[in-house]
Amino acid sequence: MILIITLLLLTQGLHCQDITGAIDIIKHCEVYSSTPYMDLDSNLAIGYGYKVNVRYGQFMSEIEASNKMVEDLRCRIKRLNKLVKVKLNNNQLNALLSLVYNIGIGNFARSDLLRKLNKGNYELESEFMRWIYVRCRNQECDIENCKKKQGGLVKRRIKEWKLFNLNEKIK
């Protein structure tokens, strides 16, 4: 599987970007589904959390899901490079890619995490950990904008933060 992803990266112009760290976290946290399912935010998703034009009755092989994820990550790298004004090492890029794959580029663009990072602050553990909540379903909470901590997101943010913090020379 990694060979297929590596070949896809090389043929599509990402030979300079090693995104296996992001892929590993996403594949571990998103979990592959060949058929549509409702994600934690009640969005219809398939594959590894892919949400664009998903409909019931659809099928996606694991290879298709991996290819969609890599395509999506390619787009997100371009957007991240425009948003992030400081230098990142490859581990930091991979951690942010995984985060953005989960929370969306718009949420990231408006985040305190990005604002602090662009000021040169790399001590961002608390900012990563702000993204561990999901909206409560109506029956769970009667307070508007109610959110609850989700264990899977806590584990994911910890993985992302650890990857972000791995020492590597900034290129």
Any domain includes 118: yes
% of residues, the chain, pLDDT over 70 = 83
Any domain includes 143: yes
Residue 59: is it exposed, middle or buried by C-beta count within 10 angstroms (0-12/13-18/19+)? exposed
Residue 47, phi then psi, degrees to nearest 5: 65, -125
Any domain includes 10: yes
Considering Cα of 12, then 14, then 20, then 24, what sign does the dihedral take? negative
Domain range holding 9? 2-165
Any domain includes 80: yes
Pick from 133, 170, 169, 136: nearest CA to 149: 133
CB atoms within 10 A of CB 22: 28
Any domain includes 171: no
Please determine, for residue 119, whether its predicted confidence score (pLDDT) is greater than 90.
Answer: yes
Q: How confident is the model at residue 162 (pLDDT cuts 50, 70, 90)?
A: very high
Any domain includes 28: yes
Q: How many distinct structural domains can be found in the chain?
A: 1
The more confident residue out of 98 and 148 is 98
- 42 sits in the region (left: phi over 0; alpha: psi -120 to 50; else beta) called left
Pick from 45, 39, 84: nearest CA to 68: 45
Any domain includes 52: yes
Please determine, for residue 4, whether its predicted confidence score (pLDDT) is greater than 60.
Answer: no
Any domain includes 27: yes
| pLDDT on residue 99 | 98
Q: What is the largest CA-CA distance in the chain?
A: 50
CATH number at residue 68: 1.10.530.40
